[in-house]
Amino acid sequence: MVKAGSGLVINCMPKADTFASKVKGREEELHSIVPIFSENRDQLGQWIARLDSMSAPVIDKIPFDAPEDERILFAEQFRDEFGNHARTTTPFLAHLLDVRLINRANTKADLDEALWWTLSSDTEQISLPACSGASLSEQTDEMAIEHWTQIELCALHALWTMVALYPNKLDTPLQAVRSRIRSAGVWMMNEYQPDNAINRPWAIGVFVQLSLTLESADERSTASMYAQTLLHNCSITLGRPDLLSACILKDASRTLMKL
């Protein structure tokens, strides 16, 4: 049993032949949790509290209560601590700040960008593209693994949010989408280490939910460690989450509260 810094108590369980088996050392935080029934809500609450405690010192800079035009301006002009503004940043922040923008995703937009623009605009529905593998998005030979991992995790976060908050925006039966999120998340945590992305905690809420709902105790452990690694990695550079990462954590926390 390990007690995390935020007070989250975690029961340890090793996992073979997956991401969990690649991490060495007794200090790694793993835990096994049964599905989210009423007796399991405390574990979900601990995760929500942990995400909020990590994001709270940073997101006081976010104008949640500002007039709508100021929130739109913030989403449009946002730059992180390093001066970056990713293509998904504006629609994601518009969603977080509860403002609507005109959908500016073009027909060649990656899946993550298309999903976030659907979430943040008055676009009525989106069709999920077919994919030859278990992932949500296709990885081409020309695409760096870091770039593709970010697209996949960011798209997984957006789709999970859409299912929880705006299921009417999907033209696919809800159960089929839930199944796709589940299979893509399990495949991702078993095949790709989260540090292949850029230290942003995209899809952390997906892996928290999987850690509470997967049938296999081993896979619940792997999902939990994956979520914890995403949480740890976003604090490596600054010793705390960067501003965009803190926003991602807050968004994940809000969605987890809807489960």
Predicted local distance difference test score (pLDDT) of residue 9? 40
CA 161 from centroid of its chain's CA atoms: 9
pLDDT digits (tens, 9 = 90+) for 119-147: 999 999 998 888 777 899 988 777 888 88
Instruction: State whether residue 150 is helix, strand or coil.
Output: helix
Q: Do residues 54 and 241 touch, judged by C-beta distance below 8 A?
A: yes
Q: What DSSP state is assigned to residue 112?
A: H
| Range 222-256 burial, b when 16+ CB lie within 10 A, else e | bbbbbbbbbbbbbbeeeeebbbbbbbbbbbbbbbb
Mean pLDDT of the chain: 85
Token representation of residue 41? 């809500």
CB 59 within 8 A of CB 246: yes
Q: For 168-206, what is each residue's pLDDT tens digit?
A: 999 989 999 999 999 999 999 999 887 766 789 999 999
* Whether the Cβ atoms of residue 52 and residue 59 lie closer than 8 Å to each other: no
pLDDT band at 4 (very low <50, low <70, confident <90, very high): very low
Band (92; pLDDT cuts 50, 70, 90): very high
Q: Which DSSP string corresponds to 176-236?
A: HHHHHHHHHHHHHHHH--GGGS-S--TTHHHHHHHHHH-S-HHHHHHHHHHHHHHHHHTTT
pTM of the model: 0.85
Q: Is the pLDDT of residue 243 over 50?
A: yes
